[in-house]
Amino acid sequence: MQNIIVPLNTFDRNEVLENGQTSFIKLIAESGAYGIEIRRELFSDQDPSLDSLKNEIEKYQLFTVYSAPIELWKEDFQLNEQELTTIFQEGKRLGAKWIKVSLGHFDQELSNVSLIDLFLKNHPEIQLLVENDQTMHGGNISNLKSFFESAYAQNVPVKMTFDAGNWYYSKQDVDEALTKLSQYVHYLHLKQVVQENDELVTVPLQKGIGHSWEKVINTLPSHVIKALEFPIQPKERTKEYVQMMSESEALA
């Protein structure tokens, strides 16, 4: 499937930490997925060097996304350049074409988006993606819209990762997010969120009328790359979900 990515946080966290992210590469490749999303927060002693991980991914010809739990803008509204530099160095060693971070604390008056442009000029081979996370500041529609409007006005080559489920955690409206942000979307994280015992829980995708993830994929262009970011257990069901997405797109 040429536009499905499988992130490593899809699988059981303990199993990933115990066996290493490398141990899932073959499974993801054999599922028919286009690529893999390596998660910085899931590195463990079981993982080899970044260079070795890159070689293993390349052996299976998978597209590589590198996700790091850092915020683009610090609490003082300034660019988080030190951490960003570290992440890009790691991403290059991994062979990642895309690097994904969260928005953080952006203020249109105080945050200088031209600094991102200067930074990215040193890394032309990597696409920076900014995702709506589950926080009230980084998952806020108005903040994200303000950031992308500022970036696009200055031709800063940054694009959006639209996480279909995170809007529930940040108490935002999915339809409003689609209306205001869809033009910036380059990568889609698919998950289904339900309420169980007064808590929001991410669950596997289900087909059927009323599921917001289906509305999201039908609203965005079909060529948008999609990640299956929901629990896949057992891991052997990965191929089943990749095929499910293929069928959903064929019907769209």
Is 250 a residue whose pLDDT tops 70? no
Separation CA 143–CA 227 (nearest Å):
24
Is 206 a residue whose pLDDT tops 90? no
pLDDT band with cut points at 50, 70 and 90 for residue 248:
low
Q: Minimal CA–CA distance to 182: which of 140, 145, 150?
A: 145
Residue 143 neighbours by CB distance under 10 Å: 20
For 107, 141, 217, 243, 249, the CA distances from 252, given in Å and listed in that order, are 37, 26, 8, 14, 5
Is 144 a residue whose pLDDT tops 90? yes
**Class (C level, CATH) for 4-251:** alpha beta
Q: What is the mean pLDDT of residues 10-18?
A: 96
* Amino acid of residue 185: V
Q: Give residue limits of the domains in the chain.
A: 4-251
> What local confidence, expressed as pLDDT, does residue 209 receive?
52
DSSP state of 183: G
Answer for the pair 7, 35: CB distance below 8 angstroms, yes or no: no
